[in-house]
Structure 1
Amino acid sequence: MARFPYRPLLGDRTLVPVVLGGDIGGYSIARAFYEAFGVRSLLMSATLNGIVRDSAMIENVVVPEMDDPDVMVREMLRLAEERPGADLIAVASVDWLVRSLIERKADLAHAYAIPYVDVELLDTVTSKDSFSDLCREHGLAHPRSVVVDLAKGPEVDTGDLEFPVIAKADDSAAYHAIEFEGKEKVFTVPSPEALTALLTRIHEAGYRDEFVVQDLIPGDDAGLRILNTYVGLDGKAAFTVYGHVLLQEHLPGTVGNSSVVLTIEEPEEVAKVERLLEAIGWRGFASLDMKVDPRTGETVYFELNPRLSRSNFFVTGAGINPAVAYVREHVLGLPAIDDAYPPQQRQTLFTILPRPLVMRYLIDKDTRTLARRLYRRRRVSHALWSRAERAPRRIAYLAAHQLNHVRKYRRWYPRTAQAAERASIAGMPHEGRAVRGAD
């Protein structure tokens, strides 16, 4: 494919993507804009970290108090005023910044394209309780759940849930704003006593929104699935890229983020999700996290995120650059997909890890064989390594970053832990579908 293949679409227009969030997800979005159109993104983050520092594809804008919506809006308007005549589009990589963009859209819409739904629909899909209702209505399996309103205190009746259970915040923006010892993104809780103690700590830290307690789906990371769907302004799903998560991160603050994803075809599950999104009037990107239950064979849907996933480079790697849909619809006024030249999905392996570490954790023989073949064919998409990035300090950082992953997995998810999780589902009726995508 030609370098910057979609640049001719812009003509003499000046495209300026503004990406909010300095994590791997934000970097991947900026990379997508660069690879499609050859433009550098303005990337706004609270601190300058190695993920985005010294990038040829990014102009960093450090705003320490950007989590304050007033500060975010002020800085975004300043950036727009400095670029008269440019086409600016704002995209965020984390939920609370997506919410800020949506809630302050009226203040920004005169200067920016804001490719997100309204706040009412956002509230519907991001509430774990409301999402559970949507799943039931549209035939998607959802884990048994109990919602605890911490505004009323940390007491909880878990009913018929069996321990261990999963516990996580319903409001990611409110949870992001608090700090307490032992804070994690997602908790695995072994007993009712441990759950009460956890909720008490969270309540004392100042969290007053809902906390969700869910049935734990057994098995190791290979049971996980992820998808990203784009719904066009015409209300129709333009495309979905579906991934089999082979390994996730296990550091307390990032557990649940995909670190190795194999793109696969699951037409029945994709059709279910696309029907749901079209029915509720969704627009733009949505990402969903799932896990195959080895006891039933069902794909169980955990949550819907109103944005591209943190691991969104698996979409780009599969041959569908998400920046193109954004620009075609929200900047150029064109359909999200050019029907004359539709993008062709290809199977790819996405990762943020070094190859030896990837192969170490692929314990299924068929998966290892496929991964080796994809490496040989250079159909592996590493979110952070790019030919465009040549700054020596950045290369040195990435080398250290990769080595650090080895240390992290050794500490937080040793092979013995993975083996124990796999052994826990041995002999279950749908073990094969969970770990290999087929019974």
Structure 2
Amino acid sequence: MDKYQHKNKAVILGSNYYIGLNAMRALGKKGIEVIGVDHCREGAYALASKYCSKALILPHYKRNSQQFIRSLIGFAEKEKYKPVLIPCADPYVEIVDEFSDELKKHFLLPPIEKGLAAELLNKDTLHGLAQKHGVKVPETIWLNQDDILEKVEKEFGFPCLLKPANSHQFVETFREKMFIANNKDELYESIKKVKKEGFEAFVQRIIPGPDNHMHTFDCYIDSKGNVTHYTTCQKQRQYPINFGASVYTKQKYFPKLYEIGAKFLTDVGYRGFAEIEFKKDEKTGDFYLIEVNVRLTNFDVMLQKIGLNMPYIMYRDLVGSPLEPKAITEDTNIHFWYSYEDILAIRNYLKTGQLSKWEALTSLKNKKAYAIWSIDDPMPFVKFSQKLFRKVLKKVKK
């Protein structure tokens, strides 16, 4: 337990995924009273953590936003000291950003301009910001242009990606982060589906290179605008493969990513946690900005293991007692592992010839930080396993 006197509670928005779980563990181990928030208990396995002091079940953040905010503020009003508010999923980031003026009266939040988090989440405005500040982004054509099929074929060809401006809403509808189009016909059909649902979307060039050409710059920018803590990481496997979320990632330092990422985030005035995803073009060696996560990363547990406890770094900054700056600029060979989805990913990498059985087996020998499992706090893993078993059983019955 940390010797620092922790008077302010921490409120974690999102308890049905391991990002929120690992935030709870990171703060609870420091002796901080942690409040886990979700809209229902079912599936919210992080609430089973011994580091979750209290579960707060509130109205759904999307279906009843106003009531959700009122309930959240109602909790904070009863506290002697302002709680630190940590959104652990994009929808929570958006609603905190939308109601930031009201929330800042009752919670401790990074001092960023209202709307900036949403700008960085939205692919349209993000690309504009990146180009304005001299950061490379993949060539992009928006769906509101005329003769889009011909323009795509002329400017960068096939295969290409059809991606949404707002990823999490797209995933809720299609259960996919994007569509891959190998030819004009496939692109035409994908555009029809996207337009039917009313999504803003764009077609984008695929930056050439395997999945281990995906890199991240992970950092914390303090209330004064200084990049105080940072490192970089290299993805090894994703799920779904090639265009999904990280399931096996290693910490590896690339100085160039600090040069690009730190400058971009400070130039736009961002504060708090951030992760920029880049892809390295295997032909040119250039790094292209793919997206920005303005919340804790999927592999935050690995960052904790190498000495960057991002939730606690933020907590201490916001309560006015910042920690000493720290950067991990050597290679630690620590890997993040989300075993459930990585097993599914390995199967598909093997099918497509992107990975050999030997490579898959030897990779599992590396030092790992586990997404959910913890011998110190096993109940969330038990709850997650029960949830997974019910899901499998349901499929078998069908």
**Fold-level similarity (TM above 0.5):** yes
2:37 to 34, 43, 49: 43
2:382 aligned partner: 395
Alignment-mate amino acid for residue 240 of structure 1: Y
State the shift of 1:349 in Å: 0.8
State the shift of 1:371 in Å: 5.8
1:205 aligned partner: 197
Q: Please state if 1:352 is matched with 2:346.
A: no
Q: Using a 3 Å threshold, how does the CA distance of structure 1 residues 217 and 49 change in structure 2: closer, same or farther?
A: same
Give 1:146-161 correspondences, 5 Å limit.
146-149=141-144, 157-158=151-152, 159-161=154-156
Q: Please state if 1:282 is matched with 2:270.
A: yes
Q: Using a 3 Å threshold, how does the CA distance of structure 1 residues 356 and 90 change in structure 2: closer, same or farther?
A: closer
SS of the residue corresponding to residue 339 of structure 2 reads: coil
Give 1:23-422 correspondences, 5 Å limit.
23-46=17-40, 48-49=42-43, 51-58=45-52, 59-63=54-58, 65-67=60-62, 68-81=64-77, 83-115=78-110, 117-149=112-144, 157-158=151-152, 159-172=154-167, 175=170, 179=173, 182-207=174-199, 210-250=200-240, 256-331=244-319, 333-335=320-322, 337-338=323-324, 342=326, 346-353=332-339, 357=343, 363=356, 372=365, 374-375=366-367, 380-391=368-379, 394-395=381-382, 397-398=384-385, 401=388
Whole-Å separation in 1 of the counterparts to 2:244 and 2:144:
23
Aligned-residue RMSD, C-alpha: 3.6
Whole-Å separation in 1 of the counterparts to 2:342 and 2:175:
30
Whole-Å separation in 1 of the counterparts to 2:126 and 2:297:
17
Q: Percent identity?
A: 19
Normalised by the size of structure 2, how large is the TM-score?
0.82
Q: Is the 8 A contact 1:36 1:323 kept in 2?
A: no
Q: Is the 8 A contact 1:287 1:307 kept in 2?
A: yes
Q: Using a 3 Å threshold, how does the CA distance of structure 1 residues 356 and 250 change in structure 2: closer, same or farther?
A: closer
Whole-Å separation in 2 of the counterparts to 1:154 and 1:162:
11
Whole-Å separation in 1 of the counterparts to 2:31 and 2:232:
25
State the shift of 1:283 in Å: 0.9
Alignment-mate amino acid for residue 12 of structure 2: V
Structure 1: stretches of 5+ with no match in the other structure: 409-439
Whole-Å separation in 1 of the counterparts to 2:56 and 2:114:
27
SS of the residue corresponding to residue 99 of structure 1 reads: helix
State the shift of 1:259 in Å: 0.6
State the shift of 1:108 in Å: 1.8
Q: Is the 8 A contact 1:139 1:272 kept in 2?
A: no
Whole-Å separation in 2 of the counterparts to 1:52 and 1:44:
10
1:225-264 alpha-carbon deviations (Å, 9 max, x no partner): 2232211111111122211111111189xx6210111001
Structure 2: stretches of 5+ with no match in the other structure: 350-354
Alignment-mate amino acid for residue 33 of structure 1: L
Q: Is the 8 A contact 2:149 2:184 kept in 1?
A: no
